Amino acid sequence: MEELIQKALSSSNKVSKNSLIEKIIPVGGGCIHKAWCIHFQNGKRVFAKSNHIDNINMFKFERECLSVLKRFANKSYICIPEPLDLIIYQNISILFLEWVDINQSQQNLLGKGLALLHKFSSELSQKNFGWEEEGFIGSNTQIRGWESNWGKFFVNYRLRPQLIKAKAWGVIVDDYEDVLIYLSSYLNDHQPRVSIVHGDLWSGNCGSTKNGLGTLYDPASYWADREVDISMTKLFGGFNKEFYKGYEEIWALDKFSKDRTDIYNLYHLLNHANMFGGSYKENSLKILKDLRSRV
């Protein structure tokens, strides 16, 4: 594989800048793509992700998400890796990104940087929630489309597609139609501002640089309620008090935001249940049962 990456790079001055490769080292941590750190003789390092050519749309989506996040990120607080090139070679696709050294210990600037990203993007004239192209959440599809009504968008473009997939393990969508109708109205009454979100913000998709700046990567972005990002930070843990303090100092959440946490995390739990099964199924059904009690 290292040899294939080296041959693919020979056609890209965007990545190599005419410097020779010193070594290519596999990097762990991902469950969908293979990853690599490419060391050049001039001291530069580049991150590479590879997959079969049939999955190139995953890389196209990631490249677009990173570009949009980078557009709204305040560089004094947060670093978004620069997409360098996307290459097809033989039967593989390879996405090359700027290398970022990660340090998980500092999170205050990560929180502030995320809040500034949400706030700055919300100040544009974007009126609709959604995304132009079909995306991905993990290995599953993230539905494209636009909607001015936030509740309708989240129910019809996020929850309902996952519930339909969950038919494979026994979920009957019609049994939860009353819950979906309630959620559509409840979420829209919240009237959130339209912000760009990371979309898959667990601790494995963010961190801090060696200089202390926050960094975001592996996004599944769309225009949404910013609370979807904050909710997911609470799903699997890994975020400390300094992160939330930093976020609140820039753009405080309203006192009812905790009431929406399980609703927004249901999307990710269902997605994990559809991909991996196991306890994610029980957790998804528990939240659906709890939500029914609100109806």
- Band (pLDDT 50/70/90 cuts) for residue 17 is low
Query: Per mean pLDDT, which range of 1-5, 48-52, 203-207 is the poorest?
Result: 1-5
- Nearest-angstrom CA–CA distance, 90 and 101: 30
Strand partners, 86: 95
Separation of first and last alpha carbons in the chain: 53
Residue 30 scores a pLDDT above 70? no
Q: CA torsion 188→191→193→194, rounded to 10°?
A: 20
Residue 219 scores a pLDDT above 90? yes
Residue 294 scores a pLDDT above 70? yes
For residue range 58-76, list pLDDT tens digits in order. 999 999 999 999 999 999 9
Average pLDDT, integer, range 130-145 = 96
- Band (pLDDT 50/70/90 cuts) for residue 28 is confident
Residue 195 scores a pLDDT above 90? yes
- In the chain the domains, ranked by start, together with CATH numbers, are 2-74+81-99 (3.30.200.20), 103-292 (3.90.1200.10)
Residue 13 pLDDT: 67
Query: Per mean pLDDT, which range of 25-34, 82-91, 142-151 is the poorest?
Result: 25-34
Residue with the larger pLDDT of the pair 10 and 121: 121
Non-local (6+) Cβ contacts of 43 within 8 A are: none
Residue 9 pLDDT: 76
For residue range 252-263, list pLDDT tens digits in order. 999 999 999 999
Percent of the chain predicted with pLDDT > 90: 81
- Band (pLDDT 50/70/90 cuts) for residue 212 is confident
Half-sphere exposure of 285 (CA within 13 A, CB side): 15
For residue range 241-289, list pLDDT tens digits in order. 999 999 999 999 999 999 999 999 999 999 999 999 999 999 999 999 9
Average pLDDT, integer, range 138-161 = 97
The gap from C-alpha 102 to its chain's centroid, in whole angstroms, comes to 17
Q: What is the mean pLDDT of the chain?
A: 93
Residue from 55, 101, 19 nearest 6 by CA: 19
Residue 104 pLDDT: 67
Please list the active-site residues: 200
Residue 157 pLDDT: 98
- Band (pLDDT 50/70/90 cuts) for residue 15 is confident
- Band (pLDDT 50/70/90 cuts) for residue 29 is low
The gap from C-alpha 99 to its chain's centroid, in whole angstroms, comes to 18
